[in-house]
Amino acid sequence: MGVAGSDTLNGGAGNDQLYGSRTSNLQGGAGDDRYYVYSNGDTYYSGADTVVENSGEGIDTAYADVYSYTLTANVENLVAIYDSIVWVQHYSDGRQEDLPRRLVGNDLDNTISLAAPSGFESHRGHTYLLDGGAGADTLIGSAANEIYLVDDAGDKVVETDAGSYQSFDIV
């Protein structure tokens, strides 16, 4: 786990969990690694932690606590965590608009998920834009409002049960 400041965390030949500290360099190794990336505290727009993963080193997942995150090369999965982040666009005429959180894949066949693991906050009431990028991607929604960018015949959209909550989704 990184501490305040710029840290470099190196995973080994196992299944590692690397926790950034907002300005960390997270380097996985062989195995199925988990990267926890955070904003730098000055802005929640994009992550300040950097993930480095080489090709063929397992099935890796980034857990992102930022407004906008794009998977780095060779990381297959992306999960949005901690849904307290809202980005508001303010207009000169006084209007304001909540903008969707952006979760973007890479050139691999990615899975991008809002299906929050146990213990994380709900995505209910927020809006997300899920874009798997190139490849045959799986985009998994939740009780949130989702905008899915489907650009490959192999892309799949999965809506999890929102219970009694009504969400609005666009494909």
Whether residues 56 and 114 share a domain: the answer is no
Q: Would 52 be classed as within a structural domain?
A: yes
- Count how many domains the chain has: 2
Domain that holds residue 104: 76-171
Q: Please, where are the H alpha helices in the chain? A: none
Whether residues 55 and 133 share a domain: the answer is no
Q: Would 70 be classed as within a structural domain?
A: no
Give the tens place of pLDDT for each residue, 27-79: 999 999 999 887 655 445 555 688 999 999 999 999 988 878 899 999 999 99
Give the tens place of pLDDT for each residue, 131-168: 999 999 999 988 778 899 999 999 999 987 655 555 56
The string of DSSP letters for 34-54 reads EEEEEB-SS-SSBB--EEE--
Instruction: Give the three-class secondary structure for 140.
Output: strand
Q: Would 71 be classed as within a structural domain?
A: no
Q: Would 138 be classed as within a structural domain?
A: yes
Q: Would 42 be classed as within a structural domain?
A: yes
What are the C-alpha distances in Å from 113 to residues 33, 47, 54, 56, 156? 17, 17, 22, 22, 12
Whether residues 98 and 27 share a domain: the answer is no
Q: Would 53 be classed as within a structural domain?
A: yes
Whether residues 113 and 140 share a domain: the answer is yes
